[in-house]
Amino acid sequence: ATPSMQDDDQNSSPLHFAFIQRRAKFSAAHRLYSSQLTEEENQKTYGKCVNTHGHNYTVEATLYGEVDPVTGMVLNLVDLNTAMEAAIMKTMDHKNLNEDVPYFKDRVSTAENISIFIWEQLKKALGSNGRLLYEVRLHETDKNSCVYRGDHK
């Protein structure tokens, strides 16, 4: 390669994209109950989970974006941690989701709805970086989890 071609290659670095992920754990109580169902239908639908019980949840937030050539980051993980603290920990940790979180006053606190709630809260807390949010994965138990990626199919 000629020297001028070499310079061009060095000045036009290719864009690189990456996924970053941060995990948080919180404990919360809830009960699965729909006001649109009868007591019998609730019992049949949700079984023992119609009773108030708790979980030690794990949330994984995944962001996707361009790696900044100057900082070497998609987003500073300190900023992601701050957003997760505001969106998840302050809102849900050691709370009764049905009683303490207004979002669940008229929604069943299933893993699906909790994931959607976390997505919406996290997107807000990230501000202009909310566009980087790719996925929220909520582990309700070791065996049960939900993945939410916005309204993508």
Which residues are catalytically annotated?
49, 94, 140
Give the separation between CA 26 and CA 9, rounded to whole angstroms: 48
For residue 33, what are the CA distances in angstroms to 8, 87, 109, 113, 146? 63, 24, 8, 13, 19
Q: Contact 89/59 with Cβ under 8 angstroms? A: no
Q: Which amino acid is at 40?
A: E
